[in-house]
Amino acid sequence: MAETVAKAHRTVSRVTDILEIVAQRDGARMHELSTALDAPKSSVFGLVKGLVSTGYLVEEHGVYALGPALANLLSQPSLDVAGAAQPSLDALREQFQETAMLGVGVGDSVVYLASAESQQLIRYSAPIRVRRPLYPPSAGKVILAYRTAAQREAYLRDALPDPDAYRAALEELAAVRTGGVAFNRGETLPDVSAAARPILVQGAVRGVISVAGPTQRIAEHLPAIADALTGAVAAAAARLGDR
């Protein structure tokens, strides 16, 4: 059977958006959800009440918060990988004085679960539990590189309509898969660059560790960071194997 590529579904996307908005804001009112979604209150109302009825949201004094049903779906491996990666993140921050992050793939996005933020005055601050595109962030490139060819091609066709950019990205991801390291040299933000490697357990990507900082300061250190990441992801994978 031919492999099918997942496509966004309007209702599913709206439901997940509601949950993510509530999580990011530690609660939201109906009008806030309607505004954030750019949707009529009448259409948002039914979805929110459905989520309340199934325990995914709870309502108190007109404010909606995450409900107990979500706790039943929390993945222990996701919790494990954050704990396993944190010592590596801390060590990388100490070594390079830049921000180190753990990212995981969530659908067509990368989400940072944990970080060790640089203490320098000018630094990169990782957006925790917020969806970011898979391309061009370095962590997202790693996730894409280890997905199937059909998934990579489908994502990049949507993200990069220019044929030359699409072909260049495919070549880049092939090199990422071969070399095990991805770079972002000011592609997302001109003033920020990064390097990333996967945490591999039995060939599967359990997470991605990246180090990011101001391009002017970090650019010359990217090769050294890439080398250090080799040991960092190996140590995280070993800690996962002990759990």
Q: What CATH number does residue 50 fall under?
A: 1.10.10.10
Amino acid identity at 23: A
Compute the distance between CA of residue 164 and CA of residue 171 in angstroms, rounded to an integer: 11
Residue 41: give the domain boundaries.
10-73
> Are residue 142 and residue 159 in the same domain, yes or no?
yes
Q: What CATH number does residue 133 fall under?
A: 3.30.450.40
Confirm whether 210 is domain-assigned. yes
Question: Other C-beta atoms within 10 Å of 180: how many?
Answer: 18
User: What pLDDT score does 8 carry?
Assistant: 77
> Are residue 176 and residue 148 in the same domain, yes or no?
yes
Confirm whether 4 is domain-assigned. no
> Are residue 85 and residue 55 in the same domain, yes or no?
no
Question: Other C-beta atoms within 10 Å of 163: how many?
Answer: 9
- Structure confidence by residue, pLDDT tens digits, 15-61: 999 999 999 998 999 999 999 999 999 999 999 999 998 888 999 89
User: Domain boundary at 28, 55, 73, which?
Assistant: 73
> Are residue 99 and residue 208 in the same domain, yes or no?
yes
User: Looking at the DSSP assignment, which residues form a beta bridge with residue 204?
Assistant: 201
Domain total of the chain: 2
Confirm whether 222 is domain-assigned. yes
CA-wise closest residue to 90 among 114, 116, 113, 120: 116
Note whether 198 and 233 are within 8 A (CB). Answer: yes
Q: Which two tokens stand for residue 188?
A: 């997302």
User: What pLDDT score does 79 carry?
Assistant: 60
- Structure confidence by residue, pLDDT tens digits, 79-130: 689 999 999 999 999 999 999 999 998 888 898 999 999 999 999 998 888 8
